[in-house]
Amino acid sequence: MDLRSVRGIGILVGLAASLFSCNLQNRMLYYPDPHVPSEAELAALHLQFWPAKADYRGFIGATEIRDVKGTVVVFHGNGGTADHRDYYVTALGSMGYRVILAEYPGYGVRKGELGEKSFVDDARATVRLASEKYPGPMFLLGESLGCGVVAAAAGDKSLRIDALILITPWDTLLSVAKSLYPLLPVGLFLKDRYDSVENLKLFQGKIAVVGAERDEILPIGHADALYRSLTGEKKMWVIKGAGHNDWPLFVDAKKWQEFIAFVH
């Protein structure tokens, strides 16, 4: 086999690896939804565009809150859009917290690339803007993929972040990929890492970890591994009987109060 043939094979292997990497990550992580709610839909959900409709970064609870206790910025899972997570506004708004439902680049009509760097850079910008606009305690809440985004953003010491709530998190994306594709060398192909264990090593605020007992997407062992890696002040809840997507049905007002009371 001559050198030209070897180079040709190398190029084909490289292209195949790149294609596999993109396909693997897309299947595992990113399901962008182009839906943008109308003003009427938002009003029904008691939401409004934030910080403004023309260049929105997400949505904020529209109901006025007296004596706001703090701001919670929510980073959602990989499917749907931020406005589909209005249950956070209902639960935490009733307790006196301002809630911002952050939207990702490439979701809705927000411009930007899908991927860890894009999401984390954008999250940092969103948190920085929220900190500038709103005084008082600042909490980040991640859900599934959003936990990876939150963990990475929390590593930025220039941001004002008081505590984290991580719901159905993973330890590292690599460990999840290995559990899903045990016979494939997934470590060679993953472009995004979302290594929450490493990203949270230096975070000094409180961290609440919430796992779903019957999580069929991210088995609770991943949440447990992340929790065990944390060295700061922490607490973990396991929602009995809950799965990855139906866990909100198992969390009542009392449980939400427990989560927020620990971090605040």
Average pLDDT over residues 10-25: 45
Q: What is the mean pLDDT of residues 160-172?
A: 98
Q: Is the pLDDT of residue 9 over 50?
A: no
Please give the pLDDT value at position 210: 98
- Interval 195-220: pLDDT, tens: 999 999 999 999 999 999 999 999 99
The model's confidence at residue 1, banded by pLDDT at 50, 70 and 90, is very low
pLDDT grade for 95, boundaries at 50, 70 and 90 = very high
At 212 the pLDDT is: 98
Strand pairing report for 138-143 and 163-167: parallel
Residue predicted with more confidence, 111 or 184: 111
Which amino acid makes up residue 78?
N
pLDDT at 239: 98
Mean pLDDT of 130-146: 97
pTM of the model: 0.91
Per-residue pLDDT at 175: 95
Average pLDDT over all residues of the chain: 91
pLDDT at position 22 is 54
Of residues 180 and 18, more confidently modeled: 180
The whole-number pLDDT of residue 20 equals 47
3-class DSSP string for the chain? CCHHHHHHHHHHHHHHHHHHHHHHHHHHCCEECCCCCCHHHHHHCCEEEECCHHHCCEEEECCCCCCCCEEEEEECCCEECHHHHHHHHHHHHCCCEEEEEECCCCCCCCCCCCCHHHHHHHHHHHHHHHHHHCCCCEEEEEECHHHHHHHHHHCCCCCCCCEEEEECCCCEHHHHHHHHCCCCCHHHCCCCCCEHHHHCCCCCCEEEEEEECCCCCCCHHHHHHHHHHCCCCEEEEEECCCCCCCHHHHCCHHHHHHHHHHHC
Predicted pLDDT at 180? 84
The answer to whether residue 246 scores a pLDDT higher than 90 is: yes
Name the band, by pLDDT with cuts 50, 70 and 90, for residue 183.
Answer: confident
Q: Is pLDDT at 61 greater than 60 in this prediction?
A: yes
Residue with tokens 């929390």: 154
Judged by phi (left if over 0) then psi (alpha if -120 to 50, else beta), residue 194 lies in left
The dihedral sign for the CA sequence 37, 39, 42, 48: positive
Does residue 55 register a pLDDT over 60? yes
Backbone angles phi, psi at 216, to 5 degrees: -90, -10
**pLDDT tens figures, 23-50:** 556 566 899 999 999 999 999 999 999 9
pLDDT grade, residue 190 (50/70/90)?
A: confident
